Structure 1
């Protein structure tokens, strides 16, 4: 499956879908159902997305998918709902918070495997600020969106924290580790 041409995506419509799903979820406890009739055609193409919620500039929730298994509109609706109500790091969003929360929708490119010989090789291949990274070992899997580079700009630190998120020691290395990279096109509500 391929991602829709990210240059032609209607960012405003994606953000409206995300916000609509958060608001709908507060009342109905499920993602906003999608009616494709009135949507931009690109929103019916398969795509992987993450929705990030921020309150006062701080992370308030972030959930999404790494692989394009649903139409873009459905994936945004689902990721926004999950970020607001299913991210276990935070309590579910309350009605009083809705006005202060700002949403970001990131549309992911296809995942690209990174063949590496060792950790130094991996760090050399990463492009800070551009690459999102997925680490996989067995059933363990974790990712950092490209935006995480803003708080972890040094590649070694970025990788160490991603390993920790995956439940691995920061200095861990194994031939079984797999690394995948992706890029995002991100749309954000204004503050």
Structure 2
């Protein structure tokens, strides 16, 4: 697995830069769920403001700046991990995020919004002319946890095989991280279930993303499997 301070390039590959670890307890998907739209509106507004500032597009008011949004919402100072996904005309335009909380959630949103717009290696940087055409989604991640199953004697243990993994997955709910012992790893957000609804296909495509043979089968703990949940907020 990669270090906690390594942001991830959306649905496909990894990118990274460093940040000093924070001492605050992480803000999780569960923490945000009860607040719903108000938190989501702030997160999306912050992501949009970050991109606007990077593209040197003027704010309509001072309250629309990233600094003002952070100052008005102290909960953004709590540690948190997120993905920022950009689409244009229904097509992916950029997606970068963190799997593990390592900095304040507000800083995480700002950094990943800018990186999704300008540093996703799959796309050219977003231009000022494209900015009004972008739709933004912010996904706040829960903590990744090992995927386990119960044994016949009632004990829990990590899944050891592809068959056990696919049986344990919860389509539409689980984000999945796969990693082998050679350093190959990749993740899919839960939103990918919309395109890959079958667990076998989901795992096959994620293996390919991690540069592991899609048909690869294992029975000996060779692949580390973790899942996480997200609370996603999207512009409409």
Higher radius of gyration, 1 or 2: 2
Gaps of 5+ in 1: none
Residue 231 of structure 2, aligned match among 172, 185, 188: 185
Give me the whole-angstrom Cα distance separating, in 2, the residues matched to 1:144 and 1:53.
16
Q: Size of the alignment, in residue pairs?
A: 187
CA RMSD in angstroms, aligned pairs only = 1.8
Distance 1:37 1:161 in 2: 37
What's the counterpart of residue 18 of structure 1?
47
Q: Structure 1 residue 91 and structure 2 residue 135: aligned?
A: no
Q: TM-score, with normalisation over the residues of structure 1? A: 0.91
Partner of 1:102: 135
In structure 1, the residue matched to 2:81 is 48
Partner of 2:26: 2
Contact 2:79 / 2:104 at 8 angstroms: preserved in 1?
yes
| 2: CA distance, partners of 1:43 / 1:135 | 29
TM-score when scaled to structure 2?
A: 0.75
Structure 2: runs of 5+ lacking an equivalent: 1-24, 58-64, 148-157
Query: Would the aligned equivalents of 2:96 and 2:113 in 1 still touch at CA under 8 Å?
Result: yes
Question: Secondary structure, in 3 states, of the residue corresponding to 2:54?
Answer: helix
State the Cα distance separating 1:41 from its structure 2 match. 2.6
The answer (yes or no) to whether the contact 2:178–2:187 under 8 Å persists in 1 is yes
Look up the match of 1:134: 177
Instruction: Give the ranges of 4+ consecutive aligned residues of structure 1 lying more than 3 Å apart after TM superposition.
Output: 32-37
Residue 176 of structure 1: CA displacement?
A: 2.5
Instruction: Give the drift of 1:36.
Output: 7.4
